[in-house]
Structure 1
Amino acid sequence: MLAADDRTVVSSSAANSLPACQADDQFSFSSGYQYIYKSGGQTSVNGACATAADANSAFRFRPNGGGPAQIVLQADNAFIGTSSPAAARTYDIVEATAQRLRLKSTNANGTKTVVTLVPFNATDPVRQLLTGGSSKTWMLDNATDAPIIVGTEGNPLQYFAGVKAGELPTCQSDDEYTFSTTNTLTYNAKAETFSAAAGFTCQPAQSGTSAFTFGPASGTGLAQFVLARNNAFIGTTDASPTERVYRIISIDDKKMTLRAGSGANGGTVFTMKFVAK
Structure 2
Amino acid sequence: MGLKVGDIGLRAASAVVLAPAAVLATWAGGGWFCALVVVACGLLAFEWARMSAPGFWRSIGAAVALALIASVVAAHVGQVSLALILLVFGAMAAGLFARSRGAEALDAAYGVLYLGWPCILLVWLRDMNEAQGLYWTVLVFAVAWASDILAYLVGSAVGGPKLWPRFSPNKTWSGFIGGLIAGMAAGAGMAAWLDMGLLNAFWGGVLGLAAALATMAGDLWESALKRRFGVKDAGNIIPGHGGLLDRVDGLMFAVVVVAAGRAIVLMLEAAA
TM-score scaled to structure 1, two decimals? 0.25
TM-score scaled to structure 2, two decimals? 0.25
User: Could you say which structure has the higher helix fraction?
Assistant: 2
**Could you say which structure has the larger radius of gyration?**
1
Higher relative contact order (CA 8 A, sep 6+): 2
